[in-house]
A and B are shown apart, each in its own frame.
Chain A
């Protein structure tokens, strides 16, 4: 296996061929934010929060889907990148209707934590405030599109780990929604096994266990999806 040496934020680090910048940064304790990234499932570079600068290139690259190369010089943190990340996070909030105070994920939310880390204290862009659906048709779980940031962790975990591929994406742009099967109510899905993995990986309160009170969190207290790690190792990722 070829080993590459590179720099991240001025630090000399090393990684194996095929690893992403995100993986190597994680191994070396360098925190690069990301909401669609989840170890154990394929990355897709959707949230754009892990953007980094490489060499002198004017083009920003998503650290989760960019493979490392010998002699790379990566800047993962500077004022400009923080500003981009704040802007991307702000737009996630504005596209839907996020009300932390009455959300099941309050104090257990990756979007909320990230906003605090980035110092996103207020919104400068106008809100869109769209009218979107809440689907409570499943007997155990609920889906609130108001809180969905389209990270598509649910789509990937259902496809790659559970193997059911209940979730996919429909429509485009601001109208983009995750959908069960071919656009049916979740409760009417014939492929859903009710395993709850999608709920476990949702970074916000978009997917939740029904009946959970506000701020109770969407996930179990058990160790966070250990099988994702096992699966990752089995696949040699």
Chain B
């Protein structure tokens, strides 16, 4: 018996997705799949273009995370030119990347997820949005909007514009940082730190309310992957890829990002345009791992900045050395943001940050290049091959959301098993499924761009494939 429930207002999931839940003869959930139903094709449309254009082309993948793609792409072209960016250029890239982390993390936590935390998962859908938050907890909404604004301003002031900035180029950055802009960014640091710490305090005070969600929203054992620096601390820009198992043991020596292909495999399923990456030594689908803010905190020894390290200690005291529940992505995202703000200040106070040497130049010195960095949602990998003149011949992008694909599927299955009873879908189930996906803050727009209403659709299938119930927004 098919049933469609239309829910208004619009949800808070990026892009178009569909979920299928499979029931067995007894009406028990046996499988669940998270489908990303659209195709972008950037790997194909960039073939034949000059490789120096790649950062700007790649930025167009996403309007929320253009900087992440710019950074990974510029690093891949650095590799093709066989040059290191100048120290000032590298630090300026770090700052703008962290500005992106702050604004995107703020968007995810305050604008998209805080309504669930404030009003509850069964709360009135009409209220569960940032405007509802502004009415019920004005300080929280103000903090979120302020943080996002500051992050966006860093991108605008340093890169030329907020969305698809042009400042990040192969070899470094195009514009020298003026002392005036540096001081303007620094002036916003105290407010940004205070806003983040207020949010952390609020989250912690409310945390126990979500005990059931913390145990049922994507709570499972898996490996984690993130970039770390020489000391094993969080590094959003460079360093080495580190992968740990669910108990915190390293699965390999820190990996040079240029050799990621030896360790990371990609699987394609016929039901989704989103690739599933896996840890090669464990094979597919056993090699499941997670990336993003939670992975960064699980993998790293410390964040490397004092206030964030203090919060990290409390975080580990509450959730364990390796947090296994995806629900803790929210908490981790706030600490990640705190670290990013501290790190921005640290970098901007460096003596060379306003120096004139912002860019290395070179021709095409290799036919292949790899660039890896941490995007807000996790480790991002760009891999290009070019001809001797520098025309792009082949591109492969491994997007953070792809790393989390198997984990999202498993999380959806877990939620479905816990909340779906019989052959009917309830609104609260839909919101919990959305919430678990929201934990990962997936950038479906990295694989989809859609006009109109953002949509999530859930099909509940009988053993014979019959649609028992359908829920759509």
Residues of A within 8 A of B (CB): 101-102, 104, 134-137, 139, 142, 144, 187, 210-216
Contacts and interface: CB of A to CB of B under 8 A. Distances in A.
A186 to B, nearest CB: 10
Contacts of A104: 53
A211 B170 contact: yes
20 contacts: A101-B56, A101-B60, A134-B391, A136-B391, A139-B363, A144-B50, A187-B389, A210-B50, A210-B52, A210-B363, A211-B52, A212-B52, A213-B55, A213-B166, A213-B169, A213-B174, A214-B53, A214-B56, A215-B56, A215-B160
Nearest to A140: B363
B165 to A, nearest CB: 10
A212 B50 CA distance: 11
A187 B361 CA distance: 20
B49 interface: yes
Contacts of A187: 389
Interface of B: 48-50, 52-53, 55-57, 60, 160, 164, 166, 169-170, 174, 361, 363, 389-391
A34 to B, nearest CB: 29
Nearest to A185: B389
Given A101-B56, A137-B389, A216-B166, 17 more contacts: A101-B164, A102-B53, A102-B60, A134-B391, A136-B50, A187-B389, A210-B50, A210-B52, A210-B363, A212-B52, A213-B166, A214-B53, A214-B56, A214-B166, A215-B56, A215-B160, A216-B174
A205 B241 CA distance: 39
Contacts of B363: 139, 210-211
Nearest to B48: A134
Contacts of B361: 211
A211 to B, nearest CB: 5
A36 B150 CA distance: 45
Contacts of B50: 134, 136, 142, 144, 210
A187 B391 CA distance: 14
- Provide the main secondary structure of the chain B interface: loop
A134 B49 contact: yes
A214 B54 CA distance: 10
Nearest to B392: A134
Nearest to B160: A215
Contacts of B52: 210-213
A141 B2 CA distance: 62
Contacts, number: 47
> Max chain B CB contacts within 10 Å: which of A102, A135, A137?
A102
Contacts of B160: 215
Contacts of A216: 166, 174
B42 to A, nearest CB: 12
A107 to B, nearest CB: 10
Contacts of A102: 53, 56-57, 60
A89 to B, nearest CB: 24
Contacts of B169: 213
Nearest to A216: B174
Nearest to A210: B52
A135 B174 CA distance: 24
A1 B182 CA distance: 62
Contacts of A101: 56, 60, 164
Contacts of A142: 50
A101 B161 CA distance: 13
Contacts of B166: 213-216
A208 B316 CA distance: 54
Nearest to A212: B52
B53 A136 contact: no
B57 A136 contact: no
Of B52, B55, B60, B164, most buried by chain A (CB within 10 Å of CB) is B52
A101 B165 CA distance: 11
B257 to A, nearest CB: 23
Give me the 5 closest cross-chain CB pairs, A-B, nearest first.
A214-B56, A136-B389, A213-B169, A102-B56, A215-B166
A139 to B, nearest CB: 7
A210 B169 CA distance: 13
Contacts of A144: 50
Contacts of A137: 389
A137 B388 CA distance: 8
Contacts of B391: 134, 136
Nearest to A99: B57
